[in-house]
Structure 1
Amino acid sequence: MKVPKVSEPTGIRTVMDAYSSKIELAYNGSREDLDPYIPADHRPMESNTSSFGALAHLLKASLGSGVLAMPLAFKNAGIVVGSFGTIFIGFICAHAIHILVKTSQKLCAEIKRPSLGYAETCEVVFQNGPKPVQRYATFARELADWALAVTHMGACCVYVVVIAESFKQVSDQYGGPSWSVTAFCGLTLVVLLPLTQITKLKYLVPFSALANFVWLGSICICVYYCLRDPPPISSRNAATSISGLPNFISTSLFAMEGIGVVMPIENEMIKPNHFLGCPGVLNIAMSAVVLMYGFIGFAGYLNYGEDARGSLTLNLPQDEILAQTAKTLVASVMLLSFALIFYVPVDVIWRRTQDKIPARAHRWSLAGLRFFGTLFIVGLASAVPRLEMFMELVGAVCLSVMGLALPAISETVFRWGKDLGTYHWVLWKNILIVFFSLVAMVSGVTFSIKTMIENL
């Protein structure tokens, strides 16, 4: 005899389904609490840079043209003050990078994002900060973006002046045309205008790779001349007047600060937790940078003293082929690297204008932006062909804001109401960093403008 199937009452089934759904939600919620979001696990497959690779990229980015400016920085401070000052500036820069990266990593875990860039970190910190500062989120992003853009434009101006002065010295030595530095600045357009029309970063890789090998050879030649026949240390100033310190700080910041490339490098790492810590990628790289910059600055100033120029190669002998080779190599490196540095300001401007231009005109508009942007930079370098002024102004304005003030402010906003340490030491520490950056900016700009007026 077949037993009839008894159907379950609809009400009981509905209640049981709802109850099981609540259990499942509670279980999933507890799993999320037990398994916190790890940003590195959600990064794209392209993020495959090893810790060693990240170290190599950071060293390559930091050991740029600024290393050749360190003798000038020592000239403004003196050999003793310059040595200790380089260590101090290096420590401040490294700490600013450290707190920026740490803030970005913690923020990514909180908002469940794989990675954040520099400007994005500043914006999201303010968006998620206390209510009174949330309205400044867009301003923080814009400030970070434009500080980065102007910094790279200033670096491009420095490149143009170094290229022009280097080729002028070689031309004067070997009977070439006796043109002014301004004319040689204009002559760089022959190479720069077509080179800056390259829109894909991957096509610039061969130029960058070639530049790295040439750059290393140039540095070795410069070190050889610095150590060939140095005068006694007693012949150099141990310290200069206090009026030289702003220029020393500005030039050192321009030379040493590589915060613009830090976040892209960290975002591409397989194990971003290796970037910070002890020893960590950052600590190793910054220690090497400080040692290298301090050594070049010490040796360059010891050898050339008050004659130290904005680029060490410009102090090399005029009548020796090896020295002329170094000047030509450095000029060639900067010529090849110009397009890569120029990419940053173009990207910042293009992201803000492309939506206002019809899609069919994008190609020609971007080409026009690159064309007139190159003309503007070369024209600016031609108008003020004093290398020191560019470095001091860029270091004083942009790098004091982007490299010191913004990371300190971002950390304070992020940790506000959470953990500012015993006696709020994080707050007081960051206030000192912001104060130092403002003093460096105001004094650096004041002395730079004063120097410009005196040289008109």
Structure 2
Amino acid sequence: MHKLDADMGAGENPTACKPHQQNGDRKEARRSVTKISLHQLPEPDGSPPLDDYNPHLHREVETPTTNAETLIHLLKGSLGTGILAMPNAFFKSGLIVGFVGTILIGSLCTYCIHVLVRSQYRMCRSLRVPILSYPRTLQLALEQGPSVLRRFALYAGGAVNAFLILYQLGICCVYIVFVATNIKQVVDEYYEAKLDVRLYMVMLLPPLILINWVRNLKLLAPFSSFANVVTFVSLGITLYYVFDGIPSPSERNMVGNVVDFPLFIGTTLFALEAVGVIIALEYNMKNPVDFGGYCGVFNRGMGIIVFMYVFVGFVGYVKYGEAAAGSITLNLPTDQKLAQSVKIMFAIAIFITYALQCYVPLEIVWNTYVKDRLVDVSNRRKMLVEYVMRTCIVIGTFLLAVAIPRLELFISLFGALCLSALGITFPATVELCLLWPSKCYGRFYWILVKDILLIVCGILGLFIGTYTSIANIVQSFL
């Protein structure tokens, strides 16, 4: 399988190229500004370039994932704690704003990922390399963009990696809090001694370390399949409780408090935009051409995900109103065994998904910042260092979760802080800069106008959403 230094890290993966292409492709990518013109790319109307190089044909993946496995990973990567937080998000936005806003944000996230993947493919064709990482893509695009942006090209790789690592580790922190909180609710019904939720986090630490020693994404596919089944069964039971005595939607607010809208946006972004996992999945597909397109793997997966998020958010808020918790499972009865089983099943599913989410930052850190420093180290010792690194990163997420066990505020903070940049601002910047030399922005420069609007919206979402989330976290401790 590809190591994610090619997928997410700063450099290209040499193992992804055929042996006779490795050195040449890497050198060409690094000398792209002087040796290759990036504006010799397909036009926005889809007309091909003169060069018929197809990056997909030059990818070599040791254990590629099929379309079905990719769809399973996509669903599992997105159907986590985010969907369970949607009733709380609808409480902040109101029914109408939540319904329309979730669809719009889901469509925006889907479109921006398509922009990024399409731009990467076009750049790979021009540079004649099988893969370009997200950080490398942004860096090369900025070098070709407006002069005011070129000065930031040197810092692009580090910025993307920092946001990716922070976001994925933030997800892992949320998962630890979620699993521990749900287990605590169940155990508290049977034992008089009410243990602190942090003690449950301590109990989770050893198995979390062990599952994150799995180094192959394909090996996680069966676990993801099991987790998907458990998730859908648990959702079904949860909806049974939701529809049992559900009140009329007219009893809920159609429009929420405007001050809380940034929290709604942050939560919805967190729930929908698993950008790190999505890009990694595309890179590791057996048939990456099937990823895009109107009926491609990505659109099918996102269609299912957005529908489920809207549905659960809407009916969950109608049922629980202002009492909607950071996870809808926390609203279920604590004294009924069926409800308790839902909490345990969701805890198991999220526990498994932790390994998938943590896979991305682990591979970035290993391939970008650690592996190259161990050139003269034996393979056995190198593997030992990798396992130590994996263990330390898991412990780091555990410590952060213990420090701030606020589920809904965690979700909103990391969604606003990281995904406004990774999922909206950076993809639009890549497309804007990529087309800058040729000025092929379509009639009336609509692509340029669209990209500028996306960049502005992403930046506003980052600053406003992050400020609101941090202010609420501080307020919760007062």
- On the 8 A contact 2:65/2:285 being kept in 1, the answer is yes
Alpha-carbon shift at residue 272 of structure 1 (Å): 4.0
Aligned to 1:220: 236
- On the 8 A contact 2:87/2:328 being kept in 1, the answer is yes
Q: Which stretch of structure 1 is more off in the superposition, 124-133 or 108-117?
A: 124-133
Aligned to 2:19: none
Q: Deviations over 1:417-436 (max 9, x none)?
A: 22112222212111111111
Q: Deviations over 1:189-244 (max 9, x none)?
A: 23223333344445544433332222222121112211222111111111112101
2:104 and 2:175 map into 1 onto residues whose CA distance is 27
2:450 to 429, 433, 437: 429
- On the 8 A contact 2:168/2:358 being kept in 1, the answer is yes
Q: Deviations over 1:355-389 (max 9, x none)?
A: 33562553343333223322221111111111012
Residue identity in the other structure for 1:251: T
**For residues 270-309 of structure 1, what are the structure 2 equivalents within 5 Å?**
271-309=287-325
2:471 to 434, 438, 450: 450
1:359 to 373, 377, 388: 377
Name the % identity.
37
Aligned to 1:121: 137
Residue identity in the other structure for 1:414: L
**For residues 19-168 of structure 1, what are the structure 2 equivalents within 5 Å?**
36-44=52-60, 51=67, 54-129=70-145, 133-134=149-150, 136-168=152-184
Alpha-carbon shift at residue 264 of structure 1 (Å): 3.0
Residue identity in the other structure for 2:371: Q
- On the 8 A contact 2:65/2:218 being kept in 1, the answer is no
Residue identity in the other structure for 1:302: V
Aligned to 2:41: none
Structure 1, unaligned stretches of length 5 or more? 1-31
Look up the SS of the partner of 1:44 in the other structure: coil
Higher-Rg member (1/2): 1
Q: Which stretch of structure 1 is more off in the superposition, 425-434 or 324-333?
A: 425-434
Instruction: Say whether residues 1:192 and 2:208 are aligned partners.
Output: yes
- On the 8 A contact 1:146/1:348 being kept in 2, the answer is no
**TM-score normalised by the chain length of structure 1:** 0.86
Look up the SS of the partner of 1:113 in the other structure: coil
Look up the SS of the partner of 1:420 in the other structure: coil
2:421 and 2:290 map into 1 onto residues whose CA distance is 27
- On the 8 A contact 2:272/2:305 being kept in 1, the answer is yes
Alpha-carbon shift at residue 40 of structure 1 (Å): 2.6
Q: Deviations over 1:268-303 (max 9, x none)?
A: 445544433334333333222211110010011111
Instruction: Say whether residues 1:315 and 2:336 are aligned partners.
Output: no
Residue identity in the other structure for 1:375: I
Residue identity in the other structure for 2:377: A
- On the 8 A contact 1:119/1:144 being kept in 2, the answer is yes
Q: Which stretch of structure 1 is more off in the superposition, 349-358 or 68-77?
A: 349-358
Look up the SS of the partner of 1:416 in the other structure: coil
Instruction: Say whether residues 1:406 and 2:434 are aligned partners.
Output: no
2:109 and 2:172 map into 1 onto residues whose CA distance is 22
Alpha-carbon shift at residue 401 of structure 1 (Å): 0.7
Residue identity in the other structure for 1:413: C
Alpha-carbon shift at residue 35 of structure 1 (Å): 6.6
**TM-score normalised by the chain length of structure 2:** 0.82
Q: Which stretch of structure 1 is more off in the superposition, 345-354 or 75-84?
A: 345-354
Alpha-carbon shift at residue 337 of structure 1 (Å): 2.6
Residue identity in the other structure for 1:353: V
- On the 8 A contact 1:47/1:269 being kept in 2, the answer is no
Aligned to 2:414: 394
Instruction: Say whether residues 1:174 and 2:190 are aligned partners.
Output: yes
1:69 and 1:426 map into 2 onto residues whose CA distance is 34
| CA gap 1:203/1:421 in 2 versus in 1, 3 angstroms | closer
2:227 and 2:270 map into 1 onto residues whose CA distance is 20
Residue identity in the other structure for 2:451: N
Look up the SS of the partner of 2:85 in the other structure: helix
How many aligned positions are there? 425
Q: Which stretch of structure 1 is more off in the superposition, 379-388 or 216-225?
A: 216-225
Instruction: Say whether residues 1:240 and 2:256 are aligned partners.
Output: yes
Q: Which stretch of structure 1 is more off in the superposition, 321-330 or 34-43?
A: 34-43
Residue identity in the other structure for 2:356: L
Look up the SS of the partner of 1:291 in the other structure: helix
1:204 and 1:47 map into 2 onto residues whose CA distance is 12
1:208 and 1:363 map into 2 onto residues whose CA distance is 25
Instruction: Calculate the aligned-residue CA RMSD, in Å.
Output: 2.4
1:205 and 1:273 map into 2 onto residues whose CA distance is 20
2:61 and 2:188 map into 1 onto residues whose CA distance is 53
- On the 8 A contact 2:80/2:353 being kept in 1, the answer is no
Q: Which stretch of structure 1 is more off in the superposition, 437-446 or 72-81?
A: 437-446
